[in-house]
Structure 1
Amino acid sequence: MADGDDRQATFGSDGSLETDTTPDATGENDFGEPKESNETDGGYSRYTVSSLLQKAVRRSDEEVAAWAAWELARSGYAWNLWDRLNLYVVEDLRAGSDVALTIERYEELATERWEPAEWKGRLCAIHAALAAARATSTREASNADAYFSAVADRRAAARERGEDPAHDFPVGDLEPGGTFDAIFDGHTGEGSRLGRGTRFFKTHGARVGPEGEDEQSARWQRLAMLLDEDRDYDPDELDRAVEPVDPDDPWGEHGPDGRGDGSDEPDDRDKPDDRDDDAGDRGSLSDFSG
């Protein structure tokens, strides 16, 4: 399938609309009349039908979405159809939906295995449109992009005036000891300077949630920490490593001084030669070996 970007409308120096109509989109319409540029077989503007397709999908109008997809496919504008459906995937679809892969598969079948305007290609177009219309629509990504962009402008303008921004990003200044202290582990310059290595990462940076680790994963995590030849982990650290984060406060895991483990000392200290007498209090391999 040719790249749809090569067929987008442009304007000439005199302001007239210039388009590159594909051979498949020429011929006669349903009324036996020669098709105008960008006209569908039903006598509609392909721009209008293309817009209708996305709005119908967004509003979950299955019949209208199916018709619009069929109309574009049969009229030689399959490239426009698939371009619009893929735009829906990133502009109007809830993140994480498997419909994105479904649409991709239908496009592959319609354009690589079969002819887009023929019967099988049209069925793929209808299937894809119906799958899109039945998916959960949301403008979350577009709304987030618009919001973050507006805040960026306000934030920059405030700095230029030497003022604190009235609107800021949801992460603030991102400094150690702040809300997002857990991110400053050995993978960052700040974390390295604070001596935060594997110990800090295991007990802070690697935590998941709010569901937490499942039983098997938690068992593996504890065993890996117990078998660590370079570090001794106490019971609190073993528990903390697999403890789910609070769904209402996912970043609330710093110590009393606001720096995670409450210490700037290197956290990857070697084990002492003389083992603790209370090593059993940390748990043993048999406790987690199943």
Structure 2
Amino acid sequence: MAEERQATFGSDGSLDTETPPEAREGTTDWGEPKDDDETDGGYNRYAVSSLLQKAVRRSDEAVAAWAAWELARSGYAWNLWDRLHLYVVEDLRAGQQVALLVERYETLATDRWEPASWKGRLCAIHAALTCARATSSREAANADEFFRNAAAARAEARETGDDPAVDFPVGDLNPGGEYDVIFDQHTGEGARQDRGERFFKTFGARVGPEGEDELSARWQRLNMVLSDVEYDEHEIDHAVAPVDADDRWGDPRDTSDEE
């Protein structure tokens, strides 16, 4: 069963998780007293908040903007911002700056202005549109679920003595294995193998297939030339060379600081 990450309703319609108390103030757009968890437009705020997240997930800008506006004007700004912050960690492709913008819009709407005011509503719409225009991805949520399932499969396999149906991407982390390069001076095993500065600079500090930019590579070369460790030209070239996209961990496994 997936972990509960947000407020949901049980099979009997009762709320499963506690939420901040709501002040039922004012009336709906047609002048009727508002019910608990009802928006000014007569909608259930749980439905609108769910609509908001799924609209930004599906990049439906118009629906996302309306849902944000409806929650903000109805006194449910906290629910709006909670949903948008959930989106940026659950449904946003990693590496984008949307999370910072949402945080800024919330600060303006709640700290500088009143959330339900005209300015607060504009912040809500801006934030929803920013999210809807971002690149959505369930990668983090999918990864979390897979890692949890893999952990359960590994534990079950250990009990039965069988090989797990699925495993973590790294398998075992042992010296001499695929990820041997991680055992440098920053780990006990690396220190026991005398893998000091030479090993770290030459192998452990290398970056991805895109490589170092020209300035960073120049600094690294100069640092190695000026080091107390005497590096040869091959070691310096290897230190600033990008890793192989098809073999990211394929570094030599027999280098130490011993002469």
Shift of 1:67: 0.3
Match of 1:22 in 2: 22
Q: Does the C-alpha gap of structure 1 residues 19 and 29 become closer, same or farther in structure 2, counting only changes over 3 Å?
A: farther
Q: Does the C-alpha gap of structure 1 residues 140 and 197 become closer, same or farther in structure 2, counting only changes over 3 Å?
A: same
RMSD over aligned Cα atoms: 1.9
Match of 2:70 in 1: 71
Shift of 1:195: 0.9
Distance 1:224 1:73 in 2: 54
Percent of aligned pairs with the same amino acid = 71
TM-score by length of structure 1 reads 0.82
Match of 1:185 in 2: 184
Distance 2:258 2:119 in 1: 62
1:163 paired to 2:162: yes
TM-score by length of structure 2 reads 0.91
Residue 169 of structure 1 aligns to a residue whose secondary structure is: coil
1:244 paired to 2:234: no
Match of 1:267 in 2: 257
How big is each residue's C-alpha offset from its partner over 1:104-137, in whole Å with a ceiling of 9 and x where there is no partner?
A: 1100000000000010000000000000000000
Distance 1:174 1:157 in 2: 20
Q: Does the C-alpha gap of structure 1 residues 133 and 73 become closer, same or farther in structure 2, counting only changes over 3 Å?
A: same
Match of 1:90 in 2: 89
Match of 1:117 in 2: 116
Preserved CA contact (<8 Å) 1:85 1:129: yes
Distance 1:98 1:20 in 2: 29
Residue 39 of structure 2 aligns to a residue whose secondary structure is: coil
**What residue ranges of structure 1 are gaps of 5+ in the alignment?**
1-7, 270-290
Shift of 1:163: 2.1
Q: Give aligned pairs, total.
A: 250
Preserved CA contact (<8 Å) 2:211 2:243: yes
Amino acid in the other structure paired with 2:57: R
Distance 2:26 2:225 in 1: 74
Moved beyond 2 Å, runs of 4+ = 8-11, 14-23
Match of 2:4 in 1: none
Q: Does the C-alpha gap of structure 1 residues 19 and 267 become closer, same or farther in structure 2, counting only changes over 3 Å?
A: closer
Preserved CA contact (<8 Å) 1:66 1:126: yes
Shift of 1:82: 0.2
Amino acid in the other structure paired with 1:267: D
1:212 paired to 2:202: no
How big is each residue's C-alpha offset from its partner over 1:12-41, in whole Å with a ceiling of 9 and x where there is no partner?
A: xx9855865433x52101010000000000
Match of 2:57 in 1: 58
Shift of 1:162: 1.6
Preserved CA contact (<8 Å) 1:10 1:19: no
Match of 1:196 in 2: 195
Shift of 1:209: 1.7
Distance 1:96 1:153 in 2: 29
Q: Does the C-alpha gap of structure 1 residues 9 and 161 become closer, same or farther in structure 2, counting only changes over 3 Å?
A: closer
1:36 paired to 2:35: yes
Residue 222 of structure 1 aligns to a residue whose secondary structure is: helix
Amino acid in the other structure paired with 2:203: H
Preserved CA contact (<8 Å) 2:175 2:183: yes
Match of 1:5 in 2: none
Preserved CA contact (<8 Å) 2:157 2:164: yes
Amino acid in the other structure paired with 2:187: T
- In the TM superposition, 1:212-231 aligns within 5 A as 212-229=211-228, 231=229
Preserved CA contact (<8 Å) 1:199 1:268: no
Distance 1:158 1:60 in 2: 41
Amino acid in the other structure paired with 1:238: I
Shift of 1:164: 2.3
Amino acid in the other structure paired with 2:75: G
Distance 2:63 2:30 in 1: 22
Distance 2:83 2:213 in 1: 40
Shift of 1:9: 8.1
